[in-house]
Structure 1
């Protein structure tokens, strides 16, 4: 049986794996015209996402209902949920700036563009925080 916690973690893993690969393998698709220094920062961010995904994968593979790992996974969901606030903010700002006419600006729709990013990260935030809070309620 798939638990709410496992479902939320799988959603995060499914969403953040392509993102991490994009930052690692094609950083200039995320930030066109990036300086070499900025590319290093984008690589670092991609590596951070990839390592977070590995932690999530280890936790998913270790989950068993009612175990200490299940409690840890619920708390991890809360932590990961807070991360998704920032991509939501970025997508929101990008959507707002795309609605303002600009001279010759061409929108770069990486992995679906800002509207898709906004929707997907809101879904991740809701799923992860919901799973984490449900875990806390069941714990107490």
Structure 2
């Protein structure tokens, strides 16, 4: 069961590393026409994502999957609701007007919505199971 519980953490690390690198090194693809200040905020957000990856990495490397790991999974899982909202909003607005280019970064909003939904469900399920078993 432990490997199954840790899999969503590994998925989070993988997905958010790609996003973080995009926010840090290519902020203009995330927010076209952004001011330098906005690009610095996006880079800071990328750094924050990398920090969540370090926290998740600690729990992947620790033996077992206890209630603390479960609580961290629940917390990290709830984060994924926000990128899902962003993706949904982008899909809703692009249905009225076709957007090309930066909207397709890392697969575009449809891919983002699906991937973040998988992350949310996986992390919450893993977290819930660990907390319930303690």
| Fold similarity call, TM over 0.5 | yes
Cα drift, residue 51 of structure 1: 1.0
User: Is the contact made by 2:84 and 2:112 (CA closer than 8 Å) also made in structure 1?
Assistant: yes
Determine the structure 1 residue equivalent to 2:86.
90
**Structure 1 residue 127, shift from structure 2 partner:** 0.1
Q: Which has the larger radius of gyration?
A: 1
TM-score by length of 2: 0.93
Q: How much has 1:107 moved relative to structure 2?
A: 4.7
Q: Which runs of 5+ in 2 are unaligned?
A: none
Instruction: Report the Cα distance in structure 1 between the residues aligned to 2:117 and 2:6, rounded to whole angstroms.
Output: 18
RMSD in angstroms over aligned alpha carbons? 1.5
Q: Who is 1:138 aligned against?
A: 133
Match of 2:111 in 1: 116
Deviation beyond 6 Å, 4+ runs, structure 1 = none
How many residues align? The count is 133
TM norm structure 1: 0.89
- Asked if 1:45 corresponds to 2:39, the answer is no
- The 1-side partners of 2:80 and 2:45 are apart by 14
- In terms of fraction of residues, the more helix-rich structure is 2
Distance, in Å, in 1 between the alignment partners of 2:4 and 2:73 is 10
Question: Helix, strand or coil: the match of 2:33?
Answer: coil
CA offset digits 1:5-43 (Å, max 9, x no partner):
211111111111100110011111100110011011101
